[in-house]
Structure 1
Amino acid sequence: MRNIILSILGILLIVGSYFFAKHLINTKTKPKPVPAKVVKTVFIDTVLNKTIPIVIPANGSLIAKRRVELYSEVQGVFKSGSPLFKPGQEYRKGEALIRIDASEYYASVQSSKSNLYNSIAAIMPDLKLDFPEVFQKWQSYLNGFDLSNTTPKLPEMTSEKENYFITGRGIVSSYYSVKNLEQRLAKYNIRAPFSGILTQALATEGSLIRSGQKLGEFIDPSIYEMEVALSKTYASLLKVGETVVLNNLENTESYTGIVSRVNGSIDATTQTITAFIEVKNDNLKEGMYLEANLNAKEESEAIEIDRNLLLESQQIYVVKDSLLDVIDVKPVYFSETKVVLKNIPNGTIILKKAVPGAYAGMLVKPFQDNQDRKDKQ
């Protein structure tokens, strides 16, 4: 009996211990971990509003401002001459670029001029009898008529009868036929319209030239233009006469040009406006690729910061009492990497570099380099 009672007490003790331990586990409170306070170090800058120049970047290739594509309007054999018709050859204004053999055509012109002379000579007896008052001027015209020179202008007809008489003999029509032939004869010699250099030669001496055939290109190497396409948003900023700094791709040389022309229409396809920059320099060559920085205008009371510091809500982060905050700003110009802002009071402390995961109320500490510490000491 005693053993039974002891067994029952042992079982009750074990069951009670189990429920007591379970109660202790359920009532035990775990202390919540206290997060460590993280203070990020940030780069800051103090706002000082000033006048910011709006510089528009652009690029393009140089093209000679004065250039001529040479075409033949007549047919014949390309005559050899000096200097040779080769790329790189320089010519002075008025110097013959191309001479085409015109001996056959020249003979027909001389024949027409001779016929005109004979026609006038044939009416001289009638003029002396019927129009003695105009005989002398026509006689002077014949005396000055030289087949080796350009046909002189016909004497001015002073009366209606004289006009009818001369026109009725076919003198006027013969004269204009001769002048037409002389104009075409002049096209057998192509002369330099200005002093320049030959950049392309598509024909050689001795070859047969056909009417409408392209013969080459001739440019003035003393002045060039660069055509640049800019966004239509800059249309109101571009001004003719503005100075432009041009740089080559290696940034080893710079040149100064001016905006010579601005297109009055916007390209409907690309929504861009075309501007032309004129530049002079002995080191420039046609086809050179340059980069330009156009000074469109100046924005007063503004600052310039990196674009990644501007939030989508048109706000930027500022530092107030070691905490980040945001303020509204007014962007006035965007470049590829920078943005010009207004409406920021002087003395405002802003971020100089973007902070990953930044938010308003974030605890920060301004970065101080060794030089800053020395200045404070």
Structure 2
Amino acid sequence: MNRRKSTFIIVSLIVLLGGSFGLSKLFISMKPDSPKRPAIDMKRFVQAETVQYGKVISPLEAKGRVISSSEVALVAEASGKVQQGSVALKKGTSFKKGQLLAVIYKDEVELALKASKSKFLNTITTLLPDLKVDYPGSFDAFMKFFNDIDINKEMPDLPDYSNEKLKVFLASRSLLSDYYGILQDEKKLGRHYLYAPFNGAFTQVSFEVGAYVNIGGQVARMIRTDELEVEVPVKNIQSKWIEKGDKVKIYSGNGNKYVMGNVVRKSNFIDEDTQSRSIFVKLPDVSSQELLAGDYKKVEFPGQEIENAMQLPRNAVFNSNEVFVVIEGMLKKKEINVLKWNENTLVFDGLQEGSKVVTQPLINARENSPVGILGEESSGSVSATQSNQNKEQKQSKSK
């Protein structure tokens, strides 16, 4: 009996719960949908300017690296131990043009050259008696040549031997071959001395004093320090405004202090990585300036005159060449023709003169949105709003 009663109670509860759920669903479905509020476009105020074309002078600014006009390798033309020159063979050492930078061990070559000169003197002494008898017109010249020879100095010039018989005589005695052999040995000895080709400094030293170097070995690298240039990478589209010979300003980084330079060349290729074209600016008289190779400096190229154009902030342009204009209180998209890109602005044409172009970036702006122009709010609408507010205040007081 108790089991039947319990079953009845459970079934009754299930029926009641099911009925309640069904009725609630029915009532919910009968409830009318609440009307959706129409989207209201809030009127915003924007900064805008009237399009007026004229002459625009727009300088170009870019950063470039100071480089040396000459950077060369100091290569050994002889093999041997590196010996001290007149300057320290160390990275950063400065030197003057013509100074002895280093010496490659030369003692053996030098002694061999002196031996060749001594042998040559002996050859001439055997020829002088024959010259005096057979070629008296050339004797004095060869005698002077003999006296001018110093084994510690370079060989003097050989006297004239245009006479055919004299030439045969000298050649048969090996005087000509011996003479030019000595000149060749002098050249070989000269290769053991490394002189500075310009005023500069060492940027890298591979073989210091005491090291052994082979022919063709790079002893050091050096740059010229009295003639510097600035290499400025410029986008190809902007490089057309720069001409060879243009006077430019190179800022030293200390406020508005700058030095003047001039464009000496433009590269005829575009760098694959930066997609830019290198402009080279020569710096005059840098010895008194605070400019060193490796520095990055700001360079200002002269302003180019662009006729029938206008400037606009770059951040007001989107999709590369689109802007917003205000037409009858609504935003409209328009395309412009960009003539020149600057760091923060651009020069353009392509819009109708007299139209209102937006000069600020707009976030979440849509075409045909209602807008007002800052500075052109209607004074009438403001006064009407104030009068309505006064009426409402009076009515509230009377109540």
Q: What band does the TM-score fall into relative to the shorter chain?
A: 0.7 to 0.9
Higher mean displacement: 110-119 or 220-229 = 220-229
Partner of 1:367: 374
Q: CA deviation at 1:351?
A: 0.7
Residues 133 and 225 of structure 1: CA distance in aligned 2, closer, same or farther (over 3 Å):
same
- For 1:127 and 1:72, the matched residues in 2 are separated by 43
Could you tell me whether the CA contact under 8 Å between 1:77 and 1:206 is conserved in 2?
yes
Could you tell me whether the CA contact under 8 Å between 1:249 and 1:289 is conserved in 2?
no
1:285 equivalenced with 2:292 (yes/no): yes
> What amino acid maps onto 1:366 in structure 2?
I
Residues 118 and 82 of structure 1: CA distance in aligned 2, closer, same or farther (over 3 Å):
same
- For 1:319 and 1:85, the matched residues in 2 are separated by 70
Cα RMSD after superposing both structures: 3.6
Could you tell me whether the CA contact under 8 Å between 1:238 and 1:296 is conserved in 2?
no
Partner of 1:224: 228
Partner of 2:358: 351
Residue from 235, 242, 260 that aligns with 1:238: 242
Q: CA deviation at 1:132?
A: 1.9
Q: CA deviation at 1:185?
A: 1.0
Q: CA deviation at 1:178?
A: 0.7
> What amino acid maps onto 1:203 in structure 2?
F
Partner of 1:134: 138
- Structure 2 spans left out of the alignment, 5+ residues: 1-29, 380-399
Residue from 172, 175, 178 that aligns with 1:171: 175
Residues 242 and 187 of structure 1: CA distance in aligned 2, closer, same or farther (over 3 Å):
same
> What amino acid maps onto 1:65 in structure 2?
S
| SS class of match (2:82) | strand
1:332 equivalenced with 2:339 (yes/no): yes
- For 1:132 and 1:83, the matched residues in 2 are separated by 52
- For 1:87 and 1:109, the matched residues in 2 are separated by 34
Q: CA deviation at 1:252?
A: 8.3
- For 2:198 and 2:255, the matched residues in 1 are separated by 33
- For 1:328 and 1:84, the matched residues in 2 are separated by 64
- For 1:235 and 1:38, the matched residues in 2 are separated by 44
Partner of 1:262: 266
Query: 1:104-125: per-residue Cα shift (whole Å, max 9, x none)?
Result: 2110011111222222222222
> What amino acid maps onto 1:156 in structure 2?
D
TM-score normalized by the length of structure 1: 0.76
Q: CA deviation at 1:129?
A: 2.2
- For 2:366 and 2:237, the matched residues in 1 are separated by 33
| SS class of match (2:165) | helix
Q: CA deviation at 1:37?
A: 6.2
Q: CA deviation at 1:225?
A: 2.0
Partner of 1:152: 156
1:40 equivalenced with 2:47 (yes/no): no
- For 2:105 and 2:186, the matched residues in 1 are separated by 15
Partner of 1:306: 313
- For 1:336 and 1:203, the matched residues in 2 are separated by 46
| SS class of match (1:278) | strand
| SS class of match (1:124) | helix
Higher mean displacement: 325-334 or 114-123 = 325-334
1:119 equivalenced with 2:123 (yes/no): yes
- For 1:311 and 1:86, the matched residues in 2 are separated by 55
Q: CA deviation at 1:31?
A: 9.5
- For 1:313 and 1:45, the matched residues in 2 are separated by 20
Query: Which aligned pairs between 1:193-212 and structure 2 lie closer than 5 A?
Result: 193-212=197-216
Residues 202 and 269 of structure 1: CA distance in aligned 2, closer, same or farther (over 3 Å):
closer
> What amino acid maps onto 1:153 in structure 2?
D
- For 1:68 and 1:314, the matched residues in 2 are separated by 46
Residues 271 and 219 of structure 1: CA distance in aligned 2, closer, same or farther (over 3 Å):
closer
TM-score normalized by the length of structure 2: 0.73
Query: 1:200-235: per-residue Cα shift (whole Å, max 9, x none)?
Result: 333333333332222222333233223344444445
Query: 1:305-330: per-residue Cα shift (whole Å, max 9, x none)?
Result: 23454465955332244333455532
Could you tell me whether the CA contact under 8 Å between 1:85 and 1:97 is conserved in 2?
yes
Q: CA deviation at 1:73?
A: 1.3
Q: CA deviation at 1:151?
A: 0.3
Partner of 1:19: none
> What amino acid maps onto 2:355 in structure 1?
T
| SS class of match (1:324) | strand
Q: Percent identity?
A: 25
Partner of 1:341: 348
- For 2:162 and 2:39, the matched residues in 1 are separated by 115
